[in-house]
């Protein structure tokens, strides 16, 4: 895969009566075409700020974003955004809300072609029988389905999602995660998603980017997720790498997220199962500063010993 989005030295500063408030500083990330990235970190660390700058909705204070070989300058239909709140126009039906964007993007298409595009995406997200209802007649989960359909109907080159399932109950969230990943598999759109949910990130992402605490937040660590695609939730949960990776993310958020300047290169976790001894040997391949450290990992009540080694060093900043 080739690099589609190159973020270099990204920073965001807001003026305040007490002086400049630096929210994000020296944020560097390269995103491959067709890759699914999840941003995680504590509240207020600047995840949504980074996403809003990627969307072109928030001016960049420092640094540059190169998107598809061109420097990003403002919002555009090449990026579809799904917000935490669906942000639908209440006087329009679900169909009309999606059509509003489709008319701007497919202005040379016929009315029938635009109708087919809108109807297709609303049907795919499960709203075939509710597309002519207004937002007030839809549940929160159904309104969010409209938001997802609206973003995909634009045929964007990049999909940006800001905690799209954060306001939903667990069952609806799981259903919409499956809807999202099914649509993403069909379209192979480069995606960046903000989430607080570690399990959600592991299910959806190719890489999980962990941010340091704010102010002056930056990339603190990156975890490579190698579960095969297309993904099945049961298979992901039963994968031997799942719990070691989950523990690694939780350990970062609880113990290391306050440290700036610690990122040396992404981490790749591989679990080897010793069938004869019934033991899990966890190998965390990452930065040399972690070499020789040991962590205790708990998988379904069984203790496993983890060894962090420098067996494989991944190039920093990728």
pLDDT digits (tens, 9 = 90+) for 205-236: 999 999 999 889 999 999 999 999 999 999 99
- The partner residues of 280 in beta bridges, in order of sequence, read 273
- Compute the mean pLDDT over every residue in the chain, rounded to the nearest whole number: 84
104-137 b/e with 16+ CB inside 10 Å = b?
Answer: ebbeeeeeeebeebbbebbebbebeebbeeebee
Number of H helices, E strands in the chain: 8, 14
Helical H segments across the chain, by residue range: 47-54, 94-105, 111-124, 140-153, 170-187, 198-204, 233-238, 242-251
Distance, in Å, from the CA atom of 94 to the CA atom of 234, rounded to the nearest integer, reads 32
pLDDT for the residue 311: 32
- DSSP state letters, 179-222: HHHHHHHHH--EEEEE-S-HHHHHHH-SEEEEEPPSSSB-EEEE
Q: Minimal CA–CA distance to 24: which of 63, 65, 82?
A: 63
First to last CA, the chain: 12
Measured CA to CA, the distance from residue 202 to residue 57 in angstroms comes to: 28
295 three-class SS: strand
Reported as a single tens digit per residue, the pLDDT across 7-46 is 999 999 999 998 899 999 999 999 999 999 999 999 889 9
Residue 275 is predicted with a pLDDT of 41
Q: 312 or 36: which carries more pLDDT confidence?
A: 36
Q: SS3 for 103?
A: helix
Tell me which residue of 274, 268, 282, 266 sits closest to 316, measured CA to CA: 266
Q: Among 3.30.70.3040, 1.20.120.10, 3.40.50.300, 3.40.50.2000, name the CATH number for the domain at 35-60+73-78+156-263.
A: 3.40.50.300
Question: What's residue 153's pLDDT?
Answer: 92
Residue 305 has pLDDT above 70, yes or no: no
CA of residue 318 relative to chain centroid, distance:
16
- Convert the pLDDT of each residue in 118-149 to its tens digit: 999 999 999 999 999 999 999 999 999 999 99
**What would the pLDDT profile of 36-75 be if each residue is shown by its tens digit?**
999 999 988 999 999 999 999 999 999 999 998 999 988 9
261-296 pLDDT tens trace = 878 788 888 754 444 444 444 555 544 344 444 444
Read off φ and ψ for residue 37, nearest 5 degrees: -110, 135
> For residue 202, with 0-12 CB atoms within 10 Å meaning exposed, 13-18 middle and 19 or more buried, which class applies?
buried
Q: What is the pLDDT of residue 1?
A: 60
- Closest to 12 in 3D by CA, of 57, 76, 68: 57
């Amino acid at each position: 895969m080739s690099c589609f989005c190159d973020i270099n030295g990204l920073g965001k500063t807001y003026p305040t009566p007490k002086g400049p408030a630096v929210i994000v500083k020296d944020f560097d990330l390269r995103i491959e075409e067709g890759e699914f990235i999840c941003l995680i970190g504590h509240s207020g660390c600047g995840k949504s700020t980074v996403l809003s700058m990627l969307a072109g909705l928030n001016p960049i204070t420092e640094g540059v974003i190169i998107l598809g070989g061109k420097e990003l300058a403002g919002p555009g239909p090449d990026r579809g955004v799904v917000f935490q709140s669906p942000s639908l126009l209440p006087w329009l039906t679900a169909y009309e809300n999606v059509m509003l964007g489709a008319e701007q993007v497919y202005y040379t298409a016929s009315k029938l072609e635009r109708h087919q595009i809108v109807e297709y995406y609303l049907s795919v997200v499960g709203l075939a029988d509710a597309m002519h209802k207004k937002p007030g007649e839809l549940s929160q989960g159904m309104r969010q389905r409209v938001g997802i359909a609206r973003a995909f109907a634009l045929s964007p080159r990049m999909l940006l999602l800001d905690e799209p399932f954060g306001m939903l109950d667990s069952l609806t969230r799981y259903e919409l995660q499956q809807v999202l990943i099914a649509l993403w598999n069909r379209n192979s759109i480069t995606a960046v998603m903000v989430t607080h949910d570690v399990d959600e990130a592991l299910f959806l992402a190719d890489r999980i980017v962990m941010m340091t605490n704010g102010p002056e937040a930056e990339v603190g660590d990156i975890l490579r997720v190698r579960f095969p695609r297309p993904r099945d939730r049961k298979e992901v949960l039963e994968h031997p790498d799942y719990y070691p990776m989950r523990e690694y993310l939780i350990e970062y958020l609880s113990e290391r997220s306050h440290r700036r300047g610690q990122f040396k290169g992404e981490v790749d976790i591989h679990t080897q199962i010793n069938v004869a001894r019934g033991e899990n040997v966890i190998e965390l391949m990452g930065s040399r500063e972690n070499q020789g450290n040991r962590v205790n990992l708990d998988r379904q009540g069984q203790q496993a010993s983890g060894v962090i080694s420098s067996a494989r060093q991944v190039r920093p900043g990728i």
